Amino acid sequence: MISAATAAYAEVPPIFIVGLVMIAMILVIVVVQMIRMIAEYHKARKDIIEPIRGIVKDRIRSLTEEGSDTDAPQSTEQARVVAKRMQIWGSHAHTFYYATFELSDGSRIELRLSGAEYGMLAEGDEGTLVYQGKQLVSFARR
């Protein structure tokens, strides 16, 4: 014996069921595309926000270091340049320059310097280093 509900389903044209399945598939595709768009939006935001966050963080750190550098006494040492590096932040290329010096006692110190000072130094240069905190004051080659 067939119930009234089953009989009602038997009367639904197959094209109607195919249409419902197609609508369901389209909805799934739309939802997947929306999820992808949301993910791309958040990735784009991250690509924009992360460099800005890095610049702000580095600037705050450099300001606090500059404050401590001006309070630090100047030191003069015989030293050799053992490494140079650049740190580039953000899409507008904020560049920070650093050099690592090996002091006469064998210890090493990394100092911040300007782009011009960075360009004038070469690894292996030896001379008299004057620094204050983490900031290069001068370097006179021998």
Residue 10 has pLDDT above 70, yes or no: no
**What pTM, to 2 d.p., does this model score?**
0.54
d(CA 101, CA 110): 6
Which stretch, 14-18, 39-43, 110-114, has highest mean pLDDT? Answer: 110-114
Residue 19 has pLDDT above 60, yes or no: yes
Q: pLDDT confidence of 3, banded at 50, 70, 90?
A: low
d(CA 136, CA 134): 7
- Asked if residue 139 lies in contact with residue 121, where contact means CB atoms within 8 angstroms, the answer is yes
pLDDT at 98: 94
Output the 3-class SS for the chain. CCCHHHHHHHCCCHHHHHHHHHHHHHHHHHHHHHHHHHHHHHHHHHHHHHHHHHHHHHHHHHHHHHHHHHHCCEEEEEEEEEEEEEEEECCCCEEEEEEEEEECCCCEEEEEECHHHHHHCCCCCEEEEEEECCEEEEEEEC
Kindly list the domain boundaries of the chain, sorted by start residue: 1-71, 73-141
d(CA 16, CA 28): 19
* Residue with the larger pLDDT of the pair 54 and 23: 23
Per-residue pLDDT tens digits for 55-86 = 677 667 666 655 566 778 899 999 999 999 99
Q: Give 45-49's long-range contacts (Cβ < 8 A, gap of 24+).
A: none
- CATH number for 73-141 (one of 1.10.3810.10, 1.10.260.40, 3.90.45.10, 2.40.50.660): it is 2.40.50.660
Per-residue pLDDT tens digits for 83-110 = 999 988 766 778 889 999 999 999 999 9
